[in-house]
Amino acid sequence: MISLAAIDTWEDFNMSEPTLDSPEGLVDWFRRGGVTGPLRHCTGPLPLSRASIVRWSSDKPDTTIQTIGTHADNYRIAVLLEPLESQIWNGESPVCGGMIGANRFRICPPGSQGRWRRMSSCDIVNIFIPTATINTLGRLRDAETPSLLADTSYTPDRVVLDLVGKLLNAQLLAGSLAQQFCDSMITALASYLLENYSQSVPGQKPSSLCGTRLQKVLAHISECVAEDVSIAALADSCAMSESHFSREFRKAVGLPPHQYVMKLRLERASLALLEGDARIIDIAVSLGFNNVSHFSRAFAMRYGLPPAIFRRNRHNCA
């Protein structure tokens, strides 16, 4: 593993499409995207996963519209360590504009390309994970219905932020075993992303959980969302094993059953906060949360704000 704490000069590279299989290729990719200052951290490719970790920052805005280069054989995980005011386009379609909160991440699939301009300072980590690494883990996870990582918007997720923090501090945490440590963290990160932010491979067989049977399952979850929804009971009602039901539910709905239940609870909580004045503790209890702390953490992970601030902003905008 080659680790560069800072790259102070930008060498001239040939104008062919840059590859990401060397520190020089990574530097070239960022240079072509308008990054003109030193990189704070550039590690990779790692020996096993072949992933790379790059952190760069700037204390000045750059309103020039820059091209985000393709990364044909890699997923790019972009992580914001401080708030960013920016405009981002995918082709001619806007992806986002305005202020994006700190501690959020976005998955950019292989081959994706776009444009952006930055109206503020920034501190951004980009992690490049080869498609081969994701595909291998996807097959280990589910040989019958492998998954790809989805194209996401900027999303808060404490697990992702924790793993990225460990990657950036690998030398301090693991010393001479930093490269083995980083490879393990990449495996952990990719596995977590596949479990929580994946999509079905195009062309795979449709879910056998569909039609009236699926509607009955969703209706039951909706009616009992504030209770402990038993996955085993749902599977039994569909004459499926629990593992088979979970797999088919995810294929049909796009989320594992437990995540779908949590999503439904939090959506109802957001409506309660926007439309009424019930106490936060009462909203939490009415939707099946064990305590306010658990509810607040889950709500902040999904909406980027604790419930109290979410409600306060509603009143400020009214």
Q: What is the pLDDT of residues 213-225, one digit of tens each?
A: 788 888 888 888 8
The answer, yes or no, to whether residue 5 has pLDDT greater than 70, is no
Give yes or no for a contact between 154 and 105, defined as CB atoms under 8 angstroms apart.
yes
Q: What is the pLDDT of residues 234-282, one digit of tens each?
A: 888 888 888 888 888 877 777 788 888 888 898 889 888 888 888 999 9
Q: What is the pLDDT of residues 26-48, one digit of tens each?
A: 888 888 888 877 788 888 899 99
Report which of 158, 260, 159, 146 is spatially closest to residue 198, judged by C-alpha positions: 146
The CA distance from 202 to 136, in Å, is 17
Q: Is 310 left (phi over 0), alpha (psi -120 to 50) or beta?
A: alpha
Q: Which fold has domain 260-317?
A: Arc Repressor Mutant, subunit A (1.10.10)
Q: What is the pLDDT of residue 280?
A: 92
Give this prediction's pTM: 0.63
Q: What is the pLDDT of residue 316?
A: 53
Q: Locate 247 and state its tokens.
A: 């797999």
The answer, yes or no, to whether residue 71 has pLDDT greater than 90, is no
Q: What is the pLDDT of residue 3?
A: 38
Q: What is the pLDDT of residues 148-197, one digit of tens each?
A: 888 888 888 889 999 999 999 999 999 999 999 999 999 999 999 988 88
Q: What is the pLDDT of residue 122?
A: 92
Q: Which CATH number fits domain 3-200: 1.20.58.220, 3.40.50.1100, 2.60.120.810, 3.40.50.2300?
A: 2.60.120.810
Higher pLDDT, 227 or 174: 174
| Domain extent listing, the chain | 3-200, 211-254, 260-317
